[in-house]
Structure 1
Amino acid sequence: MNIFGIGLPEIIVILILGLLIFGPKRLPQLGKTIGKTLKGIQTASKEFESEINKTLQLNENDD
């Protein structure tokens, strides 16, 4: 298993550190917030790519 270049042992260490630092009550809330942030970044990236493609198509049609 390899997610973002991080293997399973590294993921386990990160989860244990997160549990120790934030505690079991805040960890799910933190995960939810990180998930929403990543989803927002992904959506913004797709919109940006779409706008660039539209601009490139308009420039090709003008030539």
Structure 2
Amino acid sequence: MFGIGSTELIVILIVALIVIGPAKLPEMAKSLGKALGEFRRVSTDVKRTIEMEAEQSEQKVKTEQAKKELFPETAATAEPKDAAAPAPAQPAEQPTVQATENEKDKA
């Protein structure tokens, strides 16, 4: 247990009994037990979440590979989803020509 032998554990308990006192020792042990239990539950939950995410990622990769094997011609010609569609061509604006004063005089 954490690399602590039975003799060392007994010494730690005796020191805790002397420092904390016999009245508060059961309360401290109870709160420590609750904290360790909560820590264990949280760590198990985190571990399970990480395993689920890894499994989903592997499943996604396998699905993509299966699609490529079953439909090789569609996978090769299909464009990636992230590719931006080209913007539609807009008609060029006609440049407006403003008559200068010389052109007005000639008219």
- Which of structure 1's runs of 4+ aligned residues deviate more than 2 A? none
RMSD after superposition: 0.6
Q: Deviations over 1:30-58 (max 9, x none)?
A: 00010000000100010001100110011
TM-score (norm 1): 0.92
> Could you say which structure has the higher helix fraction?
1
Unaligned runs of 5+ in 2: 62-107
Q: CA deviation at 1:4?
A: 1.5
Larger RCO, structures 1/2 (Cα 8 Å, 6+ apart): 1
Of residues 8, 18, 31, the one that matches 1:33 is 31
Unaligned runs of 5+ in 1: none
Aligned residue pairs, count? 61
Q: CA deviation at 1:25?
A: 0.4
* Percent identity over paired residues: 36
> Could you say which structure has the higher strand fraction?
1
Match of 1:5, SS?
coil
- Give the greater-gyration-radius structure (CA): 2
Which residue number corresponds to residue 46 of structure 2? 48
